[in-house]
Chain A
Amino acid sequence: MMKRVITTTVINQSGVLNRVTGLLMKRQFNIESITVGHTEQPGISKMTFVVHVEDQRKLEQLLKQLQKQIDVLKVNDISDKAIVTRELALIKVLSPPAVRSEITSIIEPFRATVIDMSKNVITVQVTGDPEKVEAFIDLVRPYGIKEMTRTGATAFVRENQKTPSQQLSIL
């Protein structure tokens, strides 16, 4: 299994999200996360998928099937490029006064923030690439996670590509 980050630019028609996720389901692709949101252009949205695919052939199928959709303008597999990926997680951690300062000491190096607090629970917001978010969750889990929600990853290709990407190497 390979984990790939794929972005698509779509025309913001009603049903386009349904169409794209339906396609992934029909063709038995394994989605880890999807994010959707507006772009700088009115009427154009961007979707970021994190998917697991078996091999190169399956990946190629995925990209082609996405591209085939009428409302899909662009499809990019950006996994092998220099990219920035960000995800946001909200986590309610059990934190009775006895362990609160301990938890706070974990929060700080992750540059997470406490956004709500009650007697025995603090709500923390953490952003970063999914690995960082994962690491944070692992560290606070022993204290007891009451509730958690994650947005899934959204991603951008960096302006400066250090390593020439596959496509560019043809030029």
Chain B
Amino acid sequence: MSVQVNTKQAEALGGDVQKQAVQGADIFIQSLQNEGVEMIFGYPGGAVLPIYDALYKNPIPHILARHEQGAIHAAEGYARVSGKTGVVIATSGPGATNLVTGIADAMMDSLPLVVFTGQVASAVIGTDAFQEADIVGITQPITKHNYQVKDVNDLPRIIHEAFHIASTGRPGPVLVDIPKNVSNEVFTMAEVKQTEVNLPGYQPTTTPNFLQIQKVAQAIQKAEKPLVLAGAGVLHAKASEELTTFIEQTGLPVTNTLLGLGTIHGEHEQFLGMAGMHGTYAANMAICECDLLINFGARFDDRLTGNLEHFAPNAQVIHIDIDPAEIGKNVPTDIPIVADAKEALQALLKLGIKTDGIEQWSNHLNSMKEEYPLHYKREEEGILPQEAIELLHKHTGGDAIVTTDVGQHQMWAAQYYKFNHPDHWVTSGGLGTMGFGFPAAIGAQLAKPKETVIAITGDGGFQMTLQELSLLQESQIPVKVVILNNQCLGMVRQWQQTFYQERYSQSLMPSQPDFVKLAEAYDLEGYKVTSLDEADEVFEKAMNSNKPVLIDCRVKQIENVYPMVAPGKGLHEMLGVK
């Protein structure tokens, strides 16, 4: 097990110029530097004291969140917009368990994170020691992979593997649990070597099989009603340019999953809008009617498909995914392709595929788009949440990075904010984590300091992680927080209205903090807006400000997200279409 090596011995072995013995914690920092880590999101505690001490001596920028959940959601936001791996540190026990929601969230939405947790000393693991939690056991089903470091000499290899696994193939969170004694132990290897990763059990396939690509080409040429579905896999592969070229070259209509928004310009004429539970009429009907469905990097999640029995009933299905386990999991697939979306699109582009005779289909889809657009009923007074999103779009020209929390405001943001760019949309899709949006915006802003970052949150979800306002204050991170305040847990209320005869059990929240005063308490600019004119004025000022701003935007309470596919129903059975 753990061998204590004295300093002399270490020097002899190390043969390095450094006089002081190199400890696990130093190696840790050095390994992060080798990985090019530019920022850490974390929170200290007993089991990571050696690591924080090494960080003090050899700094990497560190963002001190006010709760570990804030730290990990910020790392997720950072990862989503930058494409880089987010790095998180927390202490053992409660520090580690506070990360669990974020780890599960990153797993569901395939975000590359490397999460380091301190652990009690090896000698007492398994004794219910102070602040001991079996975080490796706890996170085993919600990580792509996890490790506990047993020997300090394994640390560089494990860290290197962790970054490799997190960021390649289908990205995901990797947790590395480091017992305190390992951080303190003297490193006995000559140097931290960047060895080649040797993981025989992990060899993601990125290059598509050419025969399968040819089948896709043939299927497209034959199809009369083809449709492209683009998911987040396209974003992870940085392939939205290729997707757009492909769509334009072929003339194929395209729809998105919730997480795939931004893969194609929100106002592109071939774009039908988002599909799924709150998708547009045109997108959902296109899925129901198409005879060929080409899925790039979407996992056919139930919020997209609705009742599987009615999903794309007439379609031949092509599924291109980097994760073979997603192919055929929910929807039977006719042409499976395991590949990186970018490589698959490049291969398809080379073939110069042309569609033949799909004008009728395109015209049909366009007329559905025109006849059944997203709609809401304007009112004389007050602000409708949909209008608020449209105003935000107006004042940012569709160029902002938008993060959301979970609930009605999330769906309205997805529907009404038309993105000009990829990687500008950050939302918790798979896990649906309230409390995600605001800290994610902080991470996104840190990754992209020059861009306008808006956190669109609900009044409920914002209160789950609002302690991170400290970060805005401390570092003047210019995030614009827009609370779409309907004084209720809107999405819960909507379901209770629709399926439980308006029995609003525990979903109305009439008592709230004064959000403007709250902003003031953190020495931040805060505004409350209650009319469209006020909103217009304040949004304009805020979106052009280089300071953090919090806006309590009062919106109509009883307003529903439509269209809606009720649970268990098929995509063709939308409520509230017109």
Which residues in A have some Cβ–Cβ distance to B below 8 Å?
A: 10-11, 14-15, 18-19, 22-23, 26, 57, 60-61, 64-65, 67-73
Contact = CB atoms under 8 A, between A and B. Distances in A.
B546 interface: no
Nearest to B324: A64
Contacts, number: 40
Interface stretch (B136-144, B231-239, B274-282, B437-445): B136-144
B141 A26 contact: yes
Cβ-closest 3 pairs across A and B = A64-B325, A70-B145, A73-B201
Interface in B497-536: none
B140 A70 contact: no
B46 interface: no
A57 B332 contact: yes
A10 B140 CA distance: 16
Contacts of B325: 61, 64-65, 67-68
Contacts of A73: 200-201
Nearest to A73: B201
B364 interface: no
B45 interface: no
Interface of B: 136-137, 140-141, 144-145, 148, 150, 165, 199-202, 323-325, 328-329, 332
Contacts of A70: 144-145, 165, 199, 201-202
A38 to B, nearest CB: 17
A11 B201 contact: yes
A53 B89 CA distance: 40
B110 to A, nearest CB: 13
Contacts of A26: 141
**A11, A19, A70 interface centre (most CB from chain B within 10 Å):** A70
Contacts of B165: 70
Contact of B140 (A19, A57, A68): A19
B332 A69 contact: no
Given A15-B136, A73-B201, A22 B148 contact: no
Contacts of B200: 11, 73
**A15, A23, A65, A72 interface centre (most CB from chain B within 10 Å):** A15
Contacts of B332: 57
B113 to A, nearest CB: 16
Nearest to A16: B201
A60 B336 CA distance: 13
A12 to B, nearest CB: 12
B146 to A, nearest CB: 8
17 contacts: A10-B201, A11-B200, A11-B201, A14-B148, A14-B150, A15-B140, A18-B137, A22-B141, A26-B141, A57-B328, A61-B329, A67-B324, A68-B323, A68-B324, A69-B201, A70-B165, A70-B199
Nearest to A9: B201
Contacts of A71: 201
Nearest to A66: B325
